[in-house]
Amino acid sequence: MNTRLKHIALVAGSALFLLACGGTSSGNHGPIVLGDSSTIVTETDPLKLKDLVTDLQPVIPPSENKEEETKEPAKDTAKAPEKPAATAATPPPAQQALPNVAGLKAEFKEVAVLVPGLAVKQAGNSNLQRANGAVYTLQSGELSTSSLRISGNVTKVSQRYQTVVVLKDEDAGTLVLEALSTTTGWQPLKGNGTYKITGLDARSLEVPDADAGDIRTAVTRAAQRRRMSRKRIQELTNDLRHVRAANQKPLTVVLRSVMWKIDGKDANGRAFSKQVRVDVPM
């Protein structure tokens, strides 16, 4: 009995072994050959052919009223209220154009200055379009009775001047006492387009503050620059021993130069400042 059971077990084990070997031998058939029908998948079970990636199936609800969407919206026939026409910004008030007369003319980019009746010689570049100042030497004309004519958007016009004391001597001529000079501060000029020049007449000029010692020292220095002899210098100082003020004869206070400053705004609203100077030859 035991021997019979052993034979049955042996036969069953051999059968299982053969089945196992047969299953593993079909696992490797080499590379797939294009056109070889033996390598074509012939699986028909739909469960085994099912895609492992879930298909994306978004739900897009239909339009509630398709006709309303495709229909053009009705145009509003009501006339829109007309917008008031845009008004240009009021430009800053410009001064009146300069007259075409002879005189000092300083034509800057932002502003132009005219002093009628003066004959002058300009120093430096005559083109003032990019300049902030101009210098002239007076050749003829009267400054104290003149006026400024200005074209441009001007907000303020100011004036200052420099004086110097001179000594007129029959033999030595005119001695300019450089040590006795003064420069005033800026003073506003009144006007609108035309500005009257004031304070330049002989009676109105500021007098340098000097005593008898200052005067003698100034005369000595001026005479030395003219290479005068010691004897002549002593004679000059002796003639001034009774002089106590810088405007006392034989001394005279004269105008050496006058300057004008013109402040304003250009077409873009930027502030500018220009200066014009006139030197008076001694």
For the chain, give every domain's residue range: 106-279
Round to whole Å and give the CA distance between 70 and 62.
14
- Give the SS3 label for residue 67: helix
- The pLDDT value recorded for residue 247 is 94
Round to whole Å and give the CA distance between 188 and 207.
20
- The pLDDT value recorded for residue 143 is 95
| Cα angle value 263/111/197 (rounded, 5°) | 65
Judging by DSSP bridges, how do beta strands 271-279 and 133-140 pair with one another?
A: parallel
- The pLDDT value recorded for residue 15 is 52
- The pLDDT value recorded for residue 6 is 54
With beta carbons less than 8 A apart as the criterion, state whether 218 and 164 touch. no
User: First and final CA of the chain: distance in angstroms?
Assistant: 160
- The pLDDT value recorded for residue 23 is 47
Round to whole Å and give the CA distance between 185 and 255.
15
With beta carbons less than 8 A apart as the criterion, state whether 218 and 251 touch. no
Nearest to 172 by CA among 247, 254, 245, 231: 231
> What are the residue ranges in the chain where pLDDT is below 50?
18-37, 39-40, 48-71, 73-74, 83-95
Round to whole Å and give the CA distance between 112 and 109.
8
Digit-coded pLDDT (tens) for 203-254: 999 999 999 999 999 999 999 999 999 999 999 999 999 999 999 999 999 9
